[in-house]
Chains A and B, each alone.
Chain A
Amino acid sequence: MRLLQDSIDRLAHRGHRESSDATREAPVGKQRRSDRERGAALVEAAFVTPMLIMLLLGTVTSALAYSEHTSLQTAAREASRFGATLPVNGNLDGWLIGIMDVAEAAGGIDLADTAPGQYICVAYVYPNGAAANDRTSRRVQSAGVTGPLASGPTATCFDDGRPDNERRVQVVTERTTTIQAVLFAVDVNLSTPSAARFERGNS
């Protein structure tokens, strides 16, 4: 705080000092601080400035992480609701890929293939479905690489606790982000699950 006060003082008196210096010699110890005081301020500034920068950088990177989390959440929810309104039309795999594309597009740069820890999971969840195009199935993309189609009771993206007779869409979007604070950095895994019930059909 003293550093801040010094700065304000300097700003407040600079013009006056410059005009005074031009007309008369200022009494030592009144118009100018002593060398000892100036040194103390410098030392204090040396301590406080890195902390301020750490605080600032931490705040900025935390805000960026929050922004990325919001993007991921938006992507997951947009994709799941899109899927809930999109008929499967006998092409379940194409449907899963389509939902994944929507998630990736909605996530933008925050969910791009090159984003660290990028992961998208899309699942068609219908445990009661028996036909090939009407049973629980999942596609996963990791670091931009899409894996094979998986089907079966466990081929979900997460456990949402919903009943077996409810046809629904699950989407999970993930990435990692780093909160920087000059002297240290923390990697945080951002994961946003979303589920939406089908908005057409008998179940």
Chain B
Amino acid sequence: MNEPKLTPPQTGIWKKYLNDARPFLALALLLAVCMLSNESFRSVQNLLNITRQVACTGIAALGMTLVIIAGGIDLSVGSLLALSGVSALMVMGRIADPRLAVAAAMLVSLGAGIAGGVLNGLLVTAGKVPPFIATLGTLSIFRSLALYLANAGTLSSSNEFFRETGSCTPLGIPLATICFLVLAAGFAVLLNRTAFGRHVCAVGANPRAARYAAIGVGKVQFMTYVLAGLSAGIAAFLFSSRLNAISSTDAGLSYELDAIAGAVIGGTAMNGGRGSIAGTVAGVFILGIISNALDMWGTSANLQGLVKGLIIIVAVLIQRQNND
């Protein structure tokens, strides 16, 4: 009779920890390489710029991580961002008092995001439409609504308070970055320390077993879509406040792909059941640093997509190798 081969426990544990820490090691290595090779990259202002540049896609990626861990996918994040932003700016344009207008814009943006998330969630859970198809449909619907409301143009606001809010830097750190990190911390606590978080992982890993364990699979999935919609709404507010305008055609275009890439590089499995918020943050930063570094090195903007694609593929290949 063949006895199973026992791997010495030490190697097994090391491998697992290396596995989990991989995105952070990659991030550290990347930072080191970029800093050594390019002087413009090193400045503090540039590093702060990078954090600001990744904040909006990062927030979208946080919501996406939850959805993917629960076994679904949300392709409509970018379009929902555009729709929320357009609605917010439209409302803001109607209100005279600057502070009230900004507060209203924030509420509308979050509300629109949540509404979009609710729609996605209902389609997937109650309608039993496969997530890919449902969110593919809502991707078109949201984008079309945004284009219709803004007449395919760019909505700009003359509200100076809005722009100041967007470009303010409490303690020298851009507001968008702070929001991103706070939201990441919140989602991490949600995922790792609450029952809901455990349920999300369970539903993604094995929905049938989760149902037998009396976990409301539909409710859990529904909530992940709502949270993804909320993230899109927050990102929309920050995005439009930075530019004091939002382009209905360009805003959020391909954000869903960047969000998925960030989540995947960070170690979230596309099949669901496994993933971490910290990993997604690392993944999002890796993509942002690469984009910035390529720009500093003077590479053609057209080749950046090539590098991004290679990183995504390599990241997943390495993960699969170690999980077999």
Do A and B pair up? The answer is no
